[in-house]
Amino acid sequence: MLNIFKKILTTGVVTEPFKAPKDAELEQLGIEIKSRIDKKFSGSIAIRQVDAGSCNGCELEIHALNNPFYDIERFGVHFVASPRHADVLLVTGPVSRHMQTALLRTYEATPNPKWVIAAGDCAACGGEFGVSYASCGAVSNVIPVDVVIPGCPPTPLALMKGLLGLINAKK
């Protein structure tokens, strides 16, 4: 045990130092989002992400927004666990028949004013699933949609641009 402790003390830190990523487009977009949020939403905006039946490709890109590279929270965008705390619903996937009622309840539980973003091709038009016995198709077939972000899946930058488009469109 003492040998292990001695080795730990003599070896020191063996990891590489963290280098902050530099992406000019990301920084410029983030600064613009932050300035708009500061003016229109008093410093922060809360998003509730709803998976209405997607393949999870869009969710992976949405989760990337919270990683150290994008770190969207530094721009005043926060993801919340309850629709009662949300300003925006970010819906992914074609709405499956089993999720239709849950999506409607989530929409109704979100306080006014509320906005809805349909993220991804499946949420925009139903994708390859369309309307069938198992799928309602696009999110707009179930609840009103304010902004559509195309892509399969949309990149984190596309998601940020779509959010900025929503902020700019709303007064």
Instruction: Please give the tally of structural domains in the chain.
Output: 1
CATH of the domain at 113: 3.40.50.12280
11 pLDDT band, cuts 50/70/90, is confident
Q: Give domain status of residue 32, yes or no.
A: no
What is the per-residue pLDDT across 60-103, written as a single tens digit (0 to 9) for each?
999 999 988 888 999 999 999 999 999 999 999 899 999 999 99
Q: At residue 53, does pLDDT exceed 70? A: yes
Residue 41's alpha-carbon distances to 74, 77, 101, in angstroms, are 15, 10, 29
Q: Give domain status of residue 103, yes or no.
A: yes
Q: Give domain status of residue 162, yes or no.
A: yes
In the numeric block, which tokens belong to residue 64?
Answer: 């990337």
Say if pTM beats, i.e. exceeds, 0.85.
Answer: no
Q: Give domain status of residue 161, yes or no.
A: yes
Q: Is residue 92 within 8 Å of residue 49, measured between CB atoms? A: yes
Q: Give domain status of residue 117, yes or no.
A: yes
Residue burial 77-102, b: 16+ Cβ < 10 Å; e: rest: bebeeebeebbbbbbbbbbbeebbee
18 pLDDT band, cuts 50/70/90, is low
Find the domain containing 99 and state its range. Answer: 50-169
Per-residue confidence (pLDDT) for residue 98, from 0 to 100: 92
Q: Give domain status of residue 75, yes or no.
A: yes
What is the per-residue pLDDT across 109-167, written as a single tens digit (0 to 9) for each?
999 889 999 999 989 988 888 888 888 888 999 999 999 999 988 999 999 999 999 98
Average pLDDT over residues 26-54: 90
* Mean pLDDT over each residue of the chain, to the nearest integer: 88
Q: Give domain status of residue 99, yes or no.
A: yes
Per-residue confidence (pLDDT) for residue 19, from 0 to 100: 64
Q: Give domain status of residue 38, yes or no.
A: no
The residue among 1, 75, 64, 65 whose CA lies nearest residue 36 is: 75
Per-residue confidence (pLDDT) for residue 6, from 0 to 100: 84
